[in-house]
A = this chain, B = another copy of it.
Amino acid sequence: MNIAILFGGSSFEHEISIVSAITVKKVLKDATLSFIFVDANREFYLIESKNMKSNHFSNGAYKKDKKLTLKKGAFYTESLFGLKEQSLGVVLNLIHGRDGEDGKIASILEFNGIDYISPRVDASVLSYNKLYTKLYAQSIGVKVVPYSVLNSSDSRDIELEYPVIIKPVRLGSSIGVSIVKSADELDYALDVAFEFDNQVLIEPFIDGVLEYNQAGCKTSDFELSIVEEPNKEEFLDFEKKYLDFSRDGDVEDASISLELKSDIQDSFKKVYGTLFEGAIIRCDFFVVDGEVLLNEINPIPGSMANYLFEDFEGMVGRLINYLPKESEIKIDYSYIHSIQSAKGGKTQ
């Protein structure tokens, strides 16, 4: 199977994406891989396999690799004889955060007719924005952590039961997220969050909450990962998450009741629905009083959550056969023709 790993992007998680790509390269052992890097300036580069090392990007050496142009149907390199089409296979979108998760990359690939593994544009928008995720989840009968919304222009004169957690509605990897333990910490936490977004979510911070992650995708049927009980710390800050993104080792299935496991899996399937077809996602759930609540959707999880699957590479291969196809729209100009004949052949 031919796979082009797309990574980088104009994103706060640009560096995390590089780590993810290097990890997935290790994990996809049998595939024929290409590597498409989107630099901070959103130029595409075709990176040679031997150059897939983090310092190749951090020291700017990638600029000596071939530049790519995306056109209808394919990526092209520039050569003396003009543009040269590259057959890179199915794109695996590994750009975390802006560009990759907000719908832009999905749109660009879809518009240009490139096959890709990634949430589509609507799935991206609904999962990148944590408020829209809540609205979507509630609409399909999946419970969420209670929340309120604050806009940067709103008064901060709010009544809360502390501790709370403050999150910018967009962005991943805990950027701009704070736990606020008392009222005097609120202003600073909001200042930090509003640095990154003009809207924030405020949720109760549930100390010691049970947290479980479920990843999966849909091929001929759902293919679900083990249920992971993530490392318990207050929460993972950016650097810890960063290291987390290079994981390729094994994880143990959480020791939970079959009933809870089945509830988590059912919630995952509801969230995935038809919306996320074509993507490998990870949903993070909380369990409170025996109830499964969706915390957030990771539309492009770190290193594709490969370490949660028994046969990650096989699953990727199967998923390629189940990517959603755009419907064809035939444009035959019948309305313009009929209007022209009604006008006796005169044209507007």
Contact = CB atoms under 8 A, between A and B. Distances in A.
Given A42-B112, A198-B274, A348-B54, A331 B15 contact: yes
A67 to B, nearest CB: 11
A239 interface: yes
Contacts of A98: 329
Contacts of A40: 329-331
A25 to B, nearest CB: 10
Nearest to A14: B331
B111 A121 contact: no
Most B CB contacts (10 A, CB to CB) among A129, A340, A348 go to A348
A144 to B, nearest CB: 12
Given A122-B125, A125-B125, A18 B336 contact: yes
A164 B129 CA distance: 33
A42 B12 contact: no
Contacts of A41: 72
A329 B10 contact: yes
A339 interface: yes
Nearest to A335: B15
A128 B126 CA distance: 13
A347 B198 CA distance: 38
Contact of A11 (B15, B43, B246, B329): B329
A231 interface: no
Nearest to A56: B347
A99 B112 CA distance: 11
A156 interface: no
Copies of this chain present in the complex amount to: 2
Contact of A111 (B55, B99, B138): B99
Interface in A205-256: 238-239, 242-243, 246
Interface string A313-348: 000000000000000011101011101100000011
A104 interface: yes
Contact of A348 (B22, B102, B335): B22
A301 interface: no
Contact of A110 (B104, B238, B331, B340): B104
A330 to B, nearest CB: 8
A239 to B, nearest CB: 7
Contacts of A132: 122, 126, 132, 135-136
Interface in A91-137: 98-99, 102-108, 110-113, 121-122, 125-126, 128-129, 131-132, 135-136
Contact of A239 (B110, B246, B335): B335
A282 to B, nearest CB: 21
A14 B329 CA distance: 10
Interface string A267-292: 00000001000000000000000000
A57 interface: yes
12 contacts: A11-B329, A14-B329, A19-B336, A40-B329, A42-B111, A55-B336, A58-B340, A122-B132, A125-B126, A132-B132, A198-B274, A239-B335
Interface of A: 10-12, 14-16, 18-19, 22, 40-43, 53-55, 57-58, 69, 71-72, 98-99, 102-108, 110-113, 121-122, 125-126, 128-129, 131-132, 135-136, 138-139, 149, 151, 198-199, 238-239, 242-243, 246, 274, 329-331, 333, 335-337, 339-340, 347-348
